[in-house]
A = this chain, B = another copy of it.
Amino acid sequence: MADIGEFALIARVNAGRTQAAGVLLGPGDDAAIVAAPDGRFMVTTDMLVQDRHFRLDWSGPHDIGRKAIAQNAADVVGMGATPSAFVVSLGCPADTRVDFVSDLADGMWAEIERSGGSIAGGDMVRSPLLVISVTAFGDPRGRSPILRSTARPGDVVAVAGRLGWSAAGLAVLSSGADPTRFADVVAAHRVPRPPYQAVLDLPTDAPITALTDVSDGLLADLGHIAESSGVAIDLDSATLRDPVLDPVATALDADPLDWILAGGEDHAFAATFTDTVDIPAGWVVIGRVVSGAGVTVDGASRSGPSGWESFASGG
């Protein structure tokens, strides 16, 4: 990479890309210009650090690129907004192969085919290790954002998407077990598949009251909803069981419910709805909102890991 320089490399990874209609000016000037048709935009940002958020011996550059976009797109969708654009800063060692960077960019654009938007700009710098910082933008499409702080007692809690798959895949990779034996969950760890459409296809009159992306773990993220809404949430563990996880857990002598409740990075969506009758397609009811504080499972507090926190002693 040191051979060709930053500007040539940026030109290489941008070559042949088609910008989304909402990107009014793409890479090449001091700043990009993005449309915000309803006069507001959503913004979220995440930084991924080599050996902390991904390992190069477990994930290839294409998968890492997809994951970096997916986790940011999921945060935008977690507000009820449609991803409109991304900017990406990449720090990488001088001896990084140009092909590696191309594959990383290809992975990002592959996930963008699922999420919508395009990469409108970025930065590329030299760094002792790989660091990827993605910022994602969303268009609320004239709708009210769906916050975490608006769940109410009496609502039901529902999820769209997989829970615990990424944690199970990580456990397989960490255990040294043959990853091909449990290819589904290993693939889910390498590339999450946020069910964007389960949110974006919600009818405007859907009885949804609160929404979040499940990135830190179900208990942790529902804890954010409970705390910011001033409510308690109780989950029904029977609704959370996933037959895909059981053989993995048996092989690794683990409790699959730990993965489901505390595993992060699946980028499912968790929401509260006022009405069990009209739960939209793609959503599964897993609990209810009650008065009080905190998150319980089958009426009891759960001991053990509760989710991901970067600097916490367990994180």
Contacts and interface: CB of A to CB of B under 8 A. Distances in A.
A306 interface: no
A284 interface: no
Nearest to A77: B30
A149 interface: yes
Contacts of A75: 30-31
Given A1-B311, A39-B36, A309-B6, A81 B49 contact: no
A41 interface: yes
Given A47-B133, A133-B89, A311-B2, A32 B42 contact: yes
A143 to B, nearest CB: 12
Nearest to A43: B32
Contacts of A138: 31
Contacts of A149: 29
A126 interface: yes
A43 B34 contact: yes
B127 A309 contact: no
Contacts of A172: none
A97 to B, nearest CB: 12
A244 interface: no
B30 A34 contact: no
Q: Number of copies of this chain in the oligomer? A: 2
Interface string A60-91: 00000000000000011011010001011111
A45 B75 CA distance: 19
A282 to B, nearest CB: 19
A33 interface: yes
Interface string A103-143: 00000000000000000111111111101010111101000
Given A133-B45, A133-B133, A135-B87, A76 B6 contact: no
A45 B123 contact: yes
Contact of A32 (B5, B29, B44, B90): B44
A46 interface: yes
A47 B312 contact: no
Contact of A85 (B24, B43, B211, B228): B43
9 contacts: A4-B311, A5-B309, A5-B311, A34-B41, A35-B40, A36-B40, A43-B85, A47-B90, A133-B133
